């Protein structure tokens, strides 16, 4: 399973990339606004610079179009794709988005379809040529549904056909979501920084290491 970080914070990308396990980054307008909430983007190229810095660290960086019509999405997506070959154009799951997906596929521009909340949406995006689809699990949980059931349904459907579209589990809220996504065979999980920091931890690892180090001190040797 590929692990992506869901952030627009370059320091967070650098930290997780330094662990040697990071395969990509997903950004969205909300995450970008969080980084520049006081309008301090400074240069009109601030987003481009952040995306480029991330592209130096990982092979797959999703940058979301904000246009709502197909023509606008094409223009914005083509500009993003020119920035760096690691850029993946993120397109919302709308009918205009579907048209744009088809176009980007024909141009060899990689895409990630965002805001997927049903199996039917997943199928449409895959048929339109999306390279990645992003079902939002946490938001379904928040709405009182079982988000992971959607991943189960999509992976079951994917077994029947030959879609080359990767399933990226998004809107992850806690470490259990990551493990569940892996058990269902999802191709990618995009994980917030705070959840990433919890993944390496286990209390038995901490207590086990403490004991090893205490015992080593008793040996009285230094290597």
Q: Which is nearer to ligand G3P, 136 or 158 (CB)?
A: 136
Q: Which is nearer to ligand G3P, 108 or 138 (CB)?
A: 138
The DSSP code sequence of 86-150 is TEEEEEESSHHHHHHHHHHHHTT--EEEEEE-SHHHHHHHHHHT-SEEEEBHHHHHHTTS-HHHH
Site membership for ligand G3P, residue 28 (CB under 6 A): yes
Site residues (CB under 6 A) for ligand G3P, limited to 189-208:
190
C-beta of 179: minimal distance to ligand G3P in Å? 17
C-beta of 203: minimal distance to ligand G3P in Å? 26
Q: Which is nearer to ligand G3P, 55 or 170 (CB)?
A: 170
Q: Which is nearer to ligand G3P, 14 or 139 (CB)?
A: 139
Choose, by CB under 6 A, the member of 127, 139, 174, 187 that binds ligand G3P. Answer: 139
Applying CB under 6 A, which part among 133-141, 158-166, 175-183, 203-211 lies near ligand G3P?
133-141
Q: How many CB atoms lie within 10 A of CB 100?
A: 30
The DSSP code sequence of 168-199 is EEBS--SHHHHHHHHHTT-SEEEE-HHHHHHT
Site residues (CB under 6 A) for ligand G3P, limited to 148-177:
170-171
Q: In this structure, what DSSP letter does residue 68 have?
A: S
Choose, by CB under 6 A, the member of 23, 84, 138, 152 that binds ligand G3P. Answer: 138
Q: How many CB atoms lie within 10 A of CB 210?
A: 10
The DSSP code sequence of 27-41 is --HHHHHHHTTTSTT
Verify whether residue 90 is a known catalytic residue. Answer: yes
- HSE on the CB side for 28, CA within 13 Å? 15
Q: Which is nearer to ligand G3P, 185 or 192 (CB)?
A: 192
- Annotated catalytic residue within 90, 198, 211, 218: 90
List, by residue number, the catalytic residues.
90
Contact residues for ligand G3P (CB under 6 A)? 6, 26, 28, 136, 138-139, 170-171, 190
């Amino acid at each position: 399973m590929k692990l992506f970080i869901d952030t627009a914070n370059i320091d967070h990308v650098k930290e997780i990339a330094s662990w040697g396990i990071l395969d990509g980054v997903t950004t969205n307008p909300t995450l970008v606004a969080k980084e520049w909430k006081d309008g301090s983007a400074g240069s009109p190229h601030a987003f481009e610079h952040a995306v480029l810095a991330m592209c130096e660290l990982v092979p797959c960086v999703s940058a979301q179009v904000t246009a709502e019509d197909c023509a606008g999405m094409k223009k914005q997506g083509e500009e993003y794709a020119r920035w760096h070959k690691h850029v993946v154009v993120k397109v919302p799951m709308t009918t205009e988005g579907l048209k744009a997906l088809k176009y980007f596929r024909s141009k060899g521009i990689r895409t990630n379809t965002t805001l997927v909340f049903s199996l039917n949406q997943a199928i449409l995006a895959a048929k339109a040529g999306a390279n990645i689809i992003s079902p939002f699990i946490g938001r379904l949980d928040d709405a009182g549904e079982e988000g992971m059931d959607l991943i189960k349904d999509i992976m079951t459907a994917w077994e029947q056909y030959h879609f080359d579209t990767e399933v990226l589990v998004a809107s992850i809220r806690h470490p259990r979501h990551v493990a569940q996504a892996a058990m269902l065979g999802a191709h990618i999980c995009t994980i917030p920084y705070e959840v990433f920091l919890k993944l390496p931890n286990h209390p038995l690892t901490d207590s086990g290491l403490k004991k090893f180090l205490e015992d080593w001190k008793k040996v009285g040797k230094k290597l």
